[in-house]
Amino acid sequence: MIALGRMLLLICRLAVAALFLFAAYQKLFAPDSGPQKFALAIKSFQILPLHLVQLATGVIPWIEVICGVLLIIGLWTRAAAWLLVAMLVGFTAAVASVILRKMSVTCGCFGNLTLICPKEALSWCKVGENALILIPTLLVAVFGGGFLTFDREACKTGPVSQPGSKPHPSPSSA
């Protein structure tokens, strides 16, 4: 059963990574969408001042790229997943804000493409879609990346001595 759980976490980790890398590509390089269209989408939410719209346009896709790559290689998987959880919660709050203000805004999350919800104005479907994306992301954030991670190896350190204590002899010096 433990192996099945670790395999499920690996699948979640890779799926979330692929989704966010795809979204970042659409925001950064897609010929029919790209940064200008993403900036327009952020601006249309009418939440951020203009200088922060420009900052968000440049920063959000690169955070998605970095987190996606970290998830794929299995390094700092929980930290990357928690950052994506925070972003998803923020995106979902922004979508809810637009819906509650009865604004007609489309999302620039995946360029001109969509996952589940229609491309028309944002609706509660987008909140549900984000919740579906949030589930595997939270699983990885809470439980780790499953199989094929470097997290444990990256965190291994030698014995740590406390201030004022005598250092422990190493096995080779005994």
Distance CA 57, CA 40 (A): 9
Residues 6 or more apart from 143 whose CB is under 8 A from it? 5, 9
Q: What is the pLDDT along the chain (174 residues), one digit of tens a residue?
A: 588 989 999 999 999 999 999 999 999 988 877 888 889 989 999 999 999 999 999 999 999 999 999 999 999 999 999 999 999 999 999 999 999 999 998 887 877 777 788 878 889 999 999 999 999 999 999 998 888 888 765 455 544 445 555 555 555 544
- Cα 42 to chain centroid, rounded: 18
pTM here is 0.82
Alpha-carbon distance of 35 to 121, in angstroms, equals 20
